[in-house]
Amino acid sequence: MAEMSARFPSDVNLPQDPVPFREVRVHAPAEVVYDLKKVQEILPKVLGRLGCPTCCSGFDIRFLVERDLVVDPRSLDVRGIDPIA
């Protein structure tokens, strides 16, 4: 079983099919626990978002908040982050 942690280029515009990603072989740290509990924890929180979004006639920052969690807004590099609270 080959293990790799793939880091893709951070800024690929579509449509450029196939997306020219590269895979970089990185060994994951040993202390990382791979189980589904972390994923399991966030799923019920989705329910509150299934409905009609609340009244908002201004700027919705949800996209920017998520971007800032995943992508460094200055370098556009992916950065390590804490699991979703």
Partner 1 sequence: MLLPDLGVGINYAPGLEPALEACGELVSVVEIEPQTMWYPTRLASEPFRVDQAAVARVRELPQAKIVHGVGLPCGGSLPPDPGHLRAFAQSVHDLEAPWASEHLSFNVAKGSQGVFETGFMLPPLQTARGVGTASASIRRLSSALDVPFAVETGVNYLRPRPGDLPDGEFIARVVERADCGILLDLHNVWANARNGRQRLSHFLAEIPLDRVWEIHLAGGMEHEGYWLDAHSGAVPNELLEVTADLIPRLPNLHALIFEMFPPFLARFGPRAVASEVEKLLELWALRTKKNGPVRSRRRAKPVWQNADRAVASSTWESSLGTLAIGRPPGSPLEQELAQDPGLTVIQMLVNEFRAGTIVSMLRLTSRFLFMVLGESGFRRLLAEFAQEQPPHLFGSTEADAFRAYLEQRQVPIPHLLEVLAFERAADDVLLTGESRTVLFRCEPERLLTGLLEGEVRIVQAEEDHTVHLRQVNGTIELSARRTQT
Q: Is residue 49 helix, strand or coil?
A: helix
If one asks whether residue 25 binds partner 1 (CB under 8 A), the answer comes out as no
Residue 71 phi/psi, 5-degree rounding, is: -120, 135
Q: Is residue 64 helix, strand or coil?
A: helix
Site string for partner 1, 29-68 (x = CB under 8 A): ---x-xxxxxxx-xxx-xxxxxxxxxxxxxxxxxx-xxx-
- Which residues contact partner 1 (rule: CB under 8 A)? 1-15, 17-19, 21, 23, 28, 32, 34-40, 42-44, 46-63, 65-67, 69-71, 73, 76, 78-84
